[in-house]
Amino acid sequence: MKLVRHGPAGVERPGLIGADGTIRDCSAHIADYDHAFFAGGGLERLRGLAADMGRLPAVASGTRLGPPVARPRNVLAIGLNYRDHARETGAQIPGEPVLFMKATGTVCGPHDPILIPRGSVKTDWEVELAVVIGRPARYLESPAAAREFVAGFCAANDVSERAFQRERGGQWSKGKSSDNFLPLGPWLATADEIADPQALALALDVNGVRKQSGHTSEMIFDVWFLVHYVSQFLTLEAGDVLITGTPAGVGMGRTPPEYLAAGDVVEVAIDGLGRQRCVCRQA
């Protein structure tokens, strides 16, 4: 299934994408794709609706899409998870996953504006595969066990302000947590839709120019290991979002460095997970 949320920001409704690409509204049957939905076995109930999608009302073409997951309890992120990206930033290849947090207010729709923070001179891009947790996960026994705890996958852009992140003291979260710093979607593909999350091409363009081109097979730590690993330190809640690192080609790593400005257009694409198109705007 491909889950979407449609409508104005803050009042999105849950929907499903049919085989013909039409979005169908599920709000008469499902309140939202939130923590309660995932924790309460909502995906299984949704499969019943998906089996007869023609009875669900169609959503008008051009309707805004919100993030496919309603505000998660946690947004977790893995840094330096591609060797080429670690090298371009001058960092050592990590021996264990580098874990940090993004504020939940970063999550926005796949075509919403990227907001350049006040005082920013180094707002950067990062295409990433996002994992959505399907049920609480704590002290998982193995990476193989993690497969039972993943609801699905989304495309994501881990927008980052490098001066805030690296030059203003503290940890990475300062440069990762501004509003609209995590465009998510356009849809959540349930785990059965993605045969192998380590077999996906990722790409990011700025103003029509390809900046990042990578493949999830190049991750240092794969999806299942990451879910297992993070569960050893904290409880992954139903509906949480875990982003899994970016390949080379970020603005910070280019010569000379390149950063986003108001009016720039950022497009993200991941195999099976659709495309984003966000215009940068001054906050």
Banded pLDDT at 76 (limits 50, 70, 90): very high
Q: With left for phi above 0 and alpha for psi between -120 and 50, is residue 35 left, alpha or beta?
A: alpha
pLDDT tens, residue by residue, 81-103: 998 888 888 888 889 999 999 99
Q: Give the C-alpha distances (Å, rounded to integers) separating 187 from 33, 184, 276.
A: 11, 8, 10
Tens of pLDDT, residue by residue over 29-56, are 999 999 999 999 999 999 999 999 989 9
User: Distance (Å, rounded) from C-alpha 120 to C-alpha 58?
Assistant: 41
pTM of the model: 0.96
Domains of the chain in start order, with CATH, are: 2-65 (no CATH), 67-282 (3.90.850.10)
Distances (CA, A) of 56 to 5, 14, 281: 14, 11, 36
Residues in the chain, how many?
283
